[in-house]
Structure 1
Amino acid sequence: MSGPSPDLLAAGGQELVVVLTKAGRVKIRYPAEAVRDDGVRVTVRAPWAASGVRDFGFVRFEPGDVLTEHYWRDRWFAVKEVRDGHGVLKGWYCDITRPAVLAGGVLTVEDLDLDLWVSADGASVLRLDEDEFEESGLAGRDPAAAGAAVAALDELERLARTEGLATLLV
């Protein structure tokens, strides 16, 4: 028995709201412009939504940055292309998430703590927040989800190191 069919975005340019949850709470909520929805992947564009600058050491997210975000309904990750205000590619920030759900103009994604950063030149590929993932206790509460999350991180890292993430986003 299949569930309800997912909402599809009618056309690019439509406004929607992206909601990123973590541990059952809303982490961040922001407006985005729909770019494309093929029924499996939803692509949106939005300015850097957090207040101020976030310096990770390997990249700075700051006002003026624009993110083109790719969410899948059937994959356990989201890939966010990060560009500065002049359009220069900084790299890709990848969140390991449960598959995205689009309903009523709201795109909801559950963050599972693991992340991957890939620099614009592909020379730097960093696995992030593995300690937070372990501390989250997901492996004990939902071993299948934890396994899917680790497999998704491994898949993204392999793609980044071999083919480049751009091939995933074609």
Structure 2
Amino acid sequence: MSASSAEPAGTVEVVLVKAGRTKIRYPAERVSDDGVRLTVRAPWAGDGVRDFGFVRFEPGDVFTEHYWRDRWYAVKEVRSGDGTPKGWYCDVTRPAAVGAAEVVVEDLDLDLWVPADGGEVLRLDEDEFAASGLAAADPEAARNAVLALDELAALGRDGLLGLLSRA
């Protein structure tokens, strides 16, 4: 799909890369694509239940995932199988590379959780980010990653729905 296409039809393979290796790959249904943001929907792609302590991802959960070609993050709205909102899992990534058959995103270790119930916004994996060596290997990417996490944290406190409702 070209950057100017608005056709959401079909499926796309989501490929999450971390430290140069594919972490996970799964099919997702295209919901929309305005040339800047691609939105897809997919069931929980992990094996079994993943309990983070603050949220459980489990079979039946549905993720509506937003990937930007010009932003250093992805936002994933998480709902249980019955449609109850759980919250938003935000990955700090390089801007998404969106092609006709797949979207590739490089995970930069920093994450944010925004609970649907308005509870505490959680900054995650800052220790992994510090240990990743990105600051030394690619200082500009590291700076963009930290800025993205700060932006997401501010949006999380103010509500992510505004971000997701605008183009």
What is the TM-score with the length of structure 1 in the denominator? 0.93
The answer for the alignment partner of 1:157 in structure 2 is 153
Partner residue, 1:33: 29
Q: Is the 8 A contact 1:81 1:92 kept in 2?
A: yes
1:102-138 CA-partner distances (Å, limit 9, x unpaired): 1231100000000000000222200000000000000
CA distance in 2 between counterparts of 1:50 and 1:123 reads 25
Greater shift after overlay, 10-19 or 97-106? 10-19
Paired with 1:154 and 1:17, the residues of 2 have a C-alpha distance of 29
Match of 1:168 among 155, 159, 163: 163
What secondary structure sits across from 1:45 in the alignment?
strand
Are the counterparts in 2 of residues 6 and 101 from structure 1 also a CA contact under 8 Å? no
Shift, 1:19, TM fit: 0.1
Higher mean alpha-carbon deviation, 115-124 vs 150-159, is at 115-124
User: Paired residue for 1:24?
Assistant: 20
Amino acid corresponding to residue 45 of structure 1 in structure 2 = R
CA deviation vs aligned residue, 1:6-52 (integer Å, no higher than 9, x gap): 45665334111000000000000000000000000000000000110
**Alignment match of 2:93 (pick from 76, 87, 97):** 97
Alignment match of 1:124 (pick from 106, 111, 120): 120
Q: Give the partner amino acid of 1:121.
A: D
Distance 2:110 2:141 in 1: 12
Q: Structure 2: where are the runs of 5+ without partners?
A: none
Distance 1:103 1:35 in 2: 15
Say which SS state the counterpart of residue 144 (structure 2) adopts. Answer: helix
Unmatched 5+ stretches in structure 1: none
Q: How many residues align?
A: 165
The aligned residue for residue 59 of structure 2 is: 63
